[in-house]
Amino acid sequence: MVEIARSLDTKKTVLAHEVWKNSLLDNSIYRGKRLFRCLDDHCGAQLTLANWRVEEPIRAAYFKLSSREPEKQHKFNCQMEYGTDDEKNQLLENSTGVTMMDADQQTVADQIENTIQITQAIRPNKSETDKFIINKDSSALSVTEQDKIYKNYRTSSNIKGLTKSTYQSLMPVMLWWKDHPEGILEKINWPAIDREGQERATSFITPLKFNNPFLLNNIIINLNEQKLSEHEYNKVKIFYGEFHGSSEESSNHTLFSTLKNPSVLFKIRNNDLKNVVGIKRLRQAIKQNKYIELAFCGHFFFSKKDNHLVFVPRTPAIADWLAILGK
């Protein structure tokens, strides 16, 4: 059982998940479920896609041997089947440019269900929220309606084999992370602005742009568990933790702080906040003087002038960089 094979139709290396998705289309590029070969060209065993054209598979798609006959098994020296982890990784890297990290074959299947890709969409205006979640001002919705949105997201994201999606705003990414704490980010292409509000090709900040698969956890700084250290400054990350919000009546801003990392402070204009899903929960928490789980994406720099850390959000669109998560 493998997640990756060579297609006889395209001669290319393909993921089982991609073939499965394509097999559901009328004009599928793959002509049949048996037209696949073991990735080790010296072996070339014939493989069949399980779940071919199954609309709601119980588990993620994978390739299995097409036949039980002894002469149709993997060759004794097949590196995909019998190779060491290093050999398999080398084979995968040569044919795809993708390494499966330290995973063994058993866990590759879980990883395929367990991956997302993140890209940036073009927004017509900065207050527009993510269509995936909601397309109107979320403060107009009741708490029950907002709960329904969370639930809908969770249901759709949990369908096995369908989690390889593209996200642009922080909320679905964080909800996905909560469901898949060991989730793998296949690639991410999130631009970021600097403190002048410019997105520059050569900037001293490091945006979230990678093409290699890695744990989503690696770009999330859990402020409940670790102190923000100097080597995280000027790098765009997702910061997560329990925050306390206090309204500054005079400036129409809300100030956020966290007990565990007192140096981490940031302000958001109340006018911007009203466009975020979960704003009612947030307002409730502020009123009751309670902590609330938040995530925000951007970078911190140390301002020598003011002698404190300053937060710069990743983009001007608040749904891209702020997620109100919990109670």
Piece of 42-50, 54-62, 129-137, 153-161 that binds Zn ion (CB under 5 A): 42-50
Answer for which of 40, 186, 272, 320 binds Zn ion (CB under 5 A) is: 40
Pairing between strand 115-119 and 166-167?
parallel
Q: What is the rounded CA–CA span in Å between residue 123 and residue 42? A: 49
Q: How far apart, in Å, do the first and last CA atoms of the chain sit?
A: 42
CB of 264 to Zn ion, least distance (A): 51
Does 237 contact Zn ion by CB under 5 A?
A: no
| Residue 315 CB partners (closer than 8 Å, separation 6+) | 120, 126, 191, 192, 193, 321
Which position among 38, 103, 188, 295 is part of the footprint of Zn ion (CB under 5 A)?
A: 38
How many binding residues for Zn ion (CB under 5 A)? Answer: 8
What is the number of H-type helices and E-type strands within the chain? 9, 17
Tell me, what amino acid is at 241?
G
Locate tokens 């991609």: which residue? 18
- Per CB under 5 A, the segment of 40-48, 92-100, 181-189, 199-207 that binds Zn ion is 40-48
Q: Near Zn ion by CB under 5 A, which window of 32-40, 64-72, 104-112, 200-208?
A: 32-40
Count CA atoms within 13 Å of residue 102 on its CB side. Answer: 2
Least distance (Å) from Zn ion to the CB of residue 4?
11
Q: Say which amino acid occupies 301.
A: F
Closest CB 40 distance from Zn ion, rounded Å = 5
Cα–Cα distance for residue pair 14/36, rounded to 1 Å: 9
Bridge partners of 246?
255
Comparison of 74 and 283: residue with beta carbon closer to Zn ion? 74
Determine the Cα–Cα distance for residues 175 and 167; give it in Å rounded to an integer: 11
87 or 182: CB nearest Zn ion: 87
Q: How far is the CB of 186 from Zn ion (least distance, A)?
A: 24
Per the CB < 8 A criterion, the answer to whether 284 and 245 are in contact is: no
43-82: contacts with Zn ion (CB under 5 A): 43, 45, 74, 78, 80-81
Give residues in contact with Zn ion (CB under 5 A).
38, 40, 43, 45, 74, 78, 80-81
